[in-house]
Structure 1
Amino acid sequence: MSTPSFQHLTIDTLERWLENDSPLTLVDIRDQRSFQAGHIPGSRHLSNDSVPTLFETAPREQPLVVVCYHGHSSQQAASWLAGQGFAEVYSLDGGFTEWEYRLPARVERGSP
């Protein structure tokens, strides 16, 4: 029996998906204060408290992208989410820190 796994996603690929309005679910697992200070447009904050809502609302068949600070803890979260029945789960390499550094104009401030 194989263990469900996630894939790595580059910032360039995510930027292209967002520009093309590709259907995906984008979740940010950083703390609430960091998320409010800046996040990738279209992302939603994911915490232990909001996981049940994600399970109820996110389509399991579309890509799910997990973002953290630097692309490390998102790998654990992505692996866990892949085990929860999401078909395509990705961890953003470089995380939000790299996204903000490379694409400062594509950062949303405040709560969505």
Structure 2
Amino acid sequence: MTQAYEHLDPVTLKAWLDEAKPLTLVDIRDPLSYAQGHIPGSRHLDNATVGDLLDQAPRDQAMVVVCYHGHSSQQAATWLAGQGFAHVYSLDGGFTDWEHRHPQRVTRRS
């Protein structure tokens, strides 16, 4: 069986965001962590919002899953790929690594 998702490094994600590549960015961390800081343009995904995502997100557009360290996003990416999304990625290093590398590219609650 082939892997349902691909790993995505932060360098590639930054390039995609810089060139405004069409993508769906989902953050599966807990609501408080998401509220305190997230990658601009990302949407919080949990059991309450997954139905809207399945209804609204384009199936043929890249989807990047973000968690804390890049581990639980792999399971979520596998599940999302199983829902018919064609190009699903798990962000290596997660939000923690992204925030370390790109502190200026984090939306924070003021």
TM over 0.5: yes
* CA RMSD, 1 decimal: 1.3
Give unpaired runs (5+ residues) of structure 2: none
Distance in 1, matches of 2:84 and 2:13, equals 22
Give unpaired runs (5+ residues) of structure 1: none
Give the number of aligned pairs: 110
Q: TM-score, with normalisation over the residues of structure 1?
A: 0.95
Correspondence for 2:83: 84
**CA displacement at 1:15 relative to structure 2:** 0.3
Q: TM-score, with normalisation over the residues of structure 2?
A: 0.97
Distance in 2, matches of 1:45 and 1:97, equals 16
After the TM superposition, which segments of 4 or more aligned residues of structure 1 sit over 2 Å from their partners? none
**CA displacement at 1:3 relative to structure 2:** 5.8
Correspondence for 2:22: 23
Distance in 2, matches of 1:88 and 1:110, equals 30
What one-letter code is carried by the residue in structure 2 that aligns with 1:106? R
Correspondence for 2:74: 75
Correspondence for 2:12: 13
